[in-house]
Amino acid sequence: MQNSTEIPHPQHPDLDLYPVDRLVEVLVEDQLNAAQAVWAARAQLAEAVRQAIPRIAAGGRLIYVGAGTSGRLGLLDAVELYPTFSWPRARAIALVAGGADALTDGVEGAEDDGQQGEVDLLAVRPVANDVVLAIAASGCTPYVLGALRAACASGSLTIGLANNPNAPVLAAAQISIALVTGPEIISGSTRLKAGTAQKIALNSFSSALMVGLKKVYGNLMVDLRPVNAKLVQRAISLTMHATGMSEEMARSTLVSCGYQVKVAIVALKCDIGADEARARLAVAGGNVRQALRG
């Protein structure tokens, strides 16, 4: 049975004859189906978050596995967790078929090597509290399936994301998230709406997970890592917004707190020093609301 992502789009057989305005219109319009596909899978995404939270809270890691566009999207989600939520880099691992070379160039045959997928997954020593996200537009990529087999054998929580219903990746994972996007405007180019759906799903999963781990206060990302001037200013703005304090007070408190926004918020709202604020947060497991209650 042919994958739906590989079937030529029935509505646009003369795409190459479209004027530019119409061409852009249909390409953008088709992307709307990506969000609809993720919306249809929201219950499965929520279940994945529910099952992942206790494992990650107990010290587990996020391990993303994919090939081509899917692998690069997994890597993107993994690396962005550090500056956004101060998530340890060692606890967000991305395995891409073909390794580092595949990030900028295609590596011939890499995605077809199921044994290498298994080897790469085993090399990071998966354990029961780890959460493995197996991502494949087709849902039948051998590299991803090999890694998934090893992950299942290790006892890790396995989450499969694919853009074809009834795909092998979905059948092999404990939690299956079918992002059914159908044929692409440009036949088989799953970097289009299939990739967009994967990006939305991964963003939603990891963001919800971080909220569940108390990395967010209200809707403020109070656990960011200010690794550049823009993020330093954002830390100041977040502290001001959360406490109602002046920019000068927010900045000076952040300096004393090592630019940890959570600590600065507790220190300012409770009128205590950085060390005491840090201790309160430690007792509260990083939960700002609980730390504010003392």
Q: Hey, which residues are catalytic here?
A: 80, 111
Strand ranges of the sheet holding 131-136, from the earlier edge strand across to the other edge: 92-96, 62-66, 131-136, 157-162, 175-178
Q: How many CA atoms are closer than 13 Å to the CA of 43, on its beta-carbon side?
A: 1
DSSP string, 97-131: TTGGGGGTS--TTGGG-HHHHHHHHHHT---TT-E
Quickly tell me which residue has 């004027």 as its tokens.
Answer: 19
Q: What angle do CA 291, 246, 237 make, to 5 degrees?
A: 70
Residue 243 near residue 261, CB atoms below 8 Å: no
- Residue that the structure tokens 């108390």 belong to: 214
Count of CA atoms in the C-beta half-sphere (13 A) of 56: 27
